[in-house]
Each structure stands twice: as structure tokens, then as C-alpha cells.
Amino acid sequence: MIKVGFIGLGAMGSAMAATLARAGVAVRGFDISASCRDKASGNGVTVVPGAKDAIEGADVVVTMLPAGKEVLEVWTELLPRASRETLFVDCSTIDIESARKMHEAAHSLGLRSLEAPVSGGVAGAAAGALTFMCGGETAAFEAAGPVLEKMGRKALHCGGPGLGQAAKLCNNMILGATMIVTCEAFVLGEKLGLSHRALFDAVSSSSGQSWSMTSYCPAPGLTPSSPANNEYRPGFTAALMLKDLRLAQRAAASAGASAPLGAMAERLYEAYAASDGGGADFSGIIKMIRGES
Ligand code: NAD
């Protein structure tokens, strides 16, 4: 039986850890939040009191944390305590520099490491249907396969250290911009007298189709797992989307690339977060576009 130590049992981590447990993996999980630990313990995950307890006997350690700072702190604490055979996999979305530092820290101790940020949201995590965008050495990518395949449908090796995060940041820049323009289309449609259903049906089978429309529709009642059906409770918070858009702009500046639509999406999510939307799902930005928040 594969043994996994899972650190970070928030919206995504708790669903991913539960999916692993359902697939027959022995999962020991930890989160600094007591409420997250409580919620995770009913889902087949053995919840332990500290991160170091979670990695005891683990073949693979998975981290699913907010940002690079937390990932570097947790890896710095755990790497020296792990056995040389343990593979470290970070699934968080973090900045490219921190991802590279995290690999360096693992390699300096002779440990294998992989970055594997995900797409698919909480519904994808719960259904074992994530896509992993991996960066790191081929041997680490191959070794992670048996664990990644239990949590997702696709694992892509995007290149060496940092390039999984590069793919993820590009993806989320597209996602942020398409969510905003999808919300703008619904609000424009409302003002033109077009029903949500009519717009959804037309766009879903036309060239304006996107994941934001057909899997995560910002208007309620049109896609089954959309946070819009649940008062925009996350899901994926606007604060995390803002974090990713900032990371994409930082990456663009350091690479000398111009991304003006991504920059505009960052500014709009900044405004939404400042108007109290930071804790809501990122699709809730439709309320700001409608002039409600
Ligand atoms: P979340 O805030 O719900 O979960 C993060 C968890 O990490 C929290 O429960 C927090 O208590 C815990 N944590 C923080 N520091 C810790 C530490 N030192 N030790 C142990 N636990 C610690 O966030 P989330 O939505 O689960 O997202 C996690 C990561 O996945 C982020 O990088 C996010 O950008 C990415 N992501 C999220 C989604 C989504 O739909 N929510 C989708 C794709 C990627």
C-alpha cells in the first residue's frame, strides 16, 4: 500500500487527500487549522498533530498550501527529517523562484522533488479528475505517477524546475481574463433582455465557449458544481486568483513579456478583493461588474 503524508487540508487538499484515501492509499494528513483537521478526519485520512508526524514512513509527501512562503517553510522543516527514498511533491500554485528554491533544497539533501500545480478546482479534486502541470526531473515525474493518477486524469511533464508553475500561471491568467469577460457578457445580456439560459446555450455551443462558461458558470443554475449556485462560496477564492494574476505579471515582467489583458484582470480582481470579495469565489466578480459590490 502506498503511504502519503499530506500537508495542507484546505479546500483543495482535503478533497485530494480524501480521493487518495478512497483509492486505497494510506494518508496521514496535517493542517495548521484545527477546523480543517476536524473536517478532514471523517474522510478516510488519518489526521496527525504535526507535519513531521504526517511524513512518518511516507513514500510520497504532498503539500497543498497557499503560496511559496508556506511551501518553503514546510519543506525546510520536513526535508531534513525525511528518508532518502521519500519523494516530495508540491501541488500548490506558487511563484517560479520559490518553486526552484524548493527543488534546490530537496536536491541538496539528495531527495527527489516535483512541482505539480493543478487545474480542475475543488470538484475536480473530489472526483479525482485534476490535471497536473509538472516541473522537475523526469525520474521524479515518473515516480510520482502512481499517486498523481489516483488524484487526476492527466499529468503533463512541462519541463524542468519552475516550468510546471510557468504553465499553471499562464493557464490562470487565461482563466482570470475569461471569467471576467464571461461575467461581462452575462451582465450585458441582462441589460439587453437576454435570459441567462439563452446566453449559456448559445455560447456553450459557439466560439465564445470556455471552461468559465461550461464548467464554472458565474450565473446560477446552469452548471452543476458552480459556486454561483451556492451564493459564490468558494471554490477558488478571488484572493487566490489575485495571487495567481500577480504571479503571472511578475513572471511576465521578469521575462520581458507584455500581458496587458492579464494586467487588467489583476486590477479588476484587486478592486473586487478590496470591496470585500476576497473571500468569495472568483466567479463572484460578476456582482462587482453588475454594480452590486
Ligand atoms: P486553502 O486556503 O483552502 O488551503 C490552504 C491550507 O493550507 C489551509 O487550510 C491552511 O490552514 C493550510 N496551511 C497554511 N500554512 C500551513 C502550514 N505551515 N502547515 C500546514 N498547513 C498550512 O487554499 P486552497 O483553495 O486549498 O488552495 C491551495 C493551493 O492550491 C493554492 O496555492 C491555490 O492557488 C491552489 N489551487 C486552488 C484551487 C481551488 O479551486 N481552490 C484550484 C487550483 C489550485
Under the banding of pLDDT at 50, 70 and 90, the label for residue 276 is: confident
Strand partners, 26: 3
Q: What is the mean pLDDT of the chain?
A: 97
Q: Which amino acid is at 119?
A: S
Amino acid at 8: G
65, 91, 173, 269: which to mutate for ligand 1, most atoms within 8 A of CB? 65
Residue 93, phi-psi category: left (phi > 0), alpha (psi -120 to 50), beta (remainder): beta
What amino acid occupies position 253?
A
Distance 189 CA to ligand 1 centre (A): 35
Among the listed residues 98, 45, 50, the one whose alpha carbon sits nearest the alpha carbon of residue 71 = 98
Q: Is the pTM of this model over 0.90?
A: yes
Write the DSSP symbol of residue 120: S
Q: Quick check: helix, strand or coil at residue 71?
A: helix
Mean pLDDT confidence for 34-53: 95
Q: CA-CA-CA-CA torsion for 159, 63, 8, 148, nearest 10 degrees?
A: 70
Q: Is 103 exposed, middle or buried (0-12, 13-18, 19+ CB in 10 A)?
A: buried
The band of 144, judged by pLDDT with boundaries at 50, 70 and 90, is: very high
Please say if the pLDDT value at position 69 is more than 80: yes
How does pLDDT run across 178-218, given as a tens digit for each residue? 999 999 999 999 999 999 999 999 999 999 999 999 999 99
Cβ of 73 below 6 Å from ligand 1: yes
- For residue 65, how many C-alpha atoms fall within 13 Å in the half-sphere facing its CB? 26
* Residue 239 grid cell: 484572493
**Distance (Å) of CA 248 to CA 94, 155, 157, 257, 293:** 10, 22, 20, 10, 26
The residue among 11, 12, 49 whose CA lies nearest residue 29 is 49
Res 152: pLDDT: 98
User: Which helix H or strand E contains 45, and what residues bound it?
Assistant: none
Q: What is the mean pLDDT of residues 112-136?
A: 96
pLDDT-derived band at 241 (thresholds 50, 70, 90) equals very high
Catalytic residue among 3, 69, 101, 168: 168
Catalytic residue list contains 101: no
Just give the CATH number of 166-290.
Answer: 1.10.1040.10
Tell me: the pLDDT tens digits for 162-182? 999 999 999 999 999 999 999
Q: Is the pLDDT of residue 293 over 80?
A: no
Q: Strand locations in the chain, DSSP E?
A: 3-7, 26-30, 46-47, 60-63, 87-90, 112-115, 118-119, 130-136, 152-159
Is the pLDDT at 278 greater than 90? The verdict is no
Our answer on whether the CB atom of 167 is closer than 6 Å to any ligand 1 atom is no
Q: Render 47-75 in DSSP notation, one character per residue.
A: E-SSHHHHTTT-SEEEE--SSHHHHHHHH
Residues of the chain with CATH 1.10.1040.10: 166-290
pLDDT, residue 3, reads 98
Q: What is the pLDDT of residues 13-28, one digit of tens each?
A: 999 999 999 999 999 9
The CATH classification of domain 3-161, taken from the options 3.40.30.10, 3.40.50.720, 3.90.470.10, 3.40.50.300? 3.40.50.720
Report how far residue 199's alpha carbon sits from residue 195's, in angstroms, rounded to the nearest whole number: 6
161 lines ligand 1 (CB under 6 A): no
Ranges in the chain annotated CATH 3.40.50.720: 3-161
Distance 139 CA to ligand 1 centre (A): 26
Q: What is the per-residue pLDDT across 243-264, written as a single tens digit (0 to 9) for each? A: 999 999 999 999 999 999 999 9
Task: List the grid coordinates of 157.
Answer: 511533464
Residue 275 confidence (pLDDT): 94
Nearest-10 Cα torsion for 229, 275, 285, 240: -90
What letter does residue 109 receive in the DSSP assignment? T
Average pLDDT, integer, range 108-119: 98
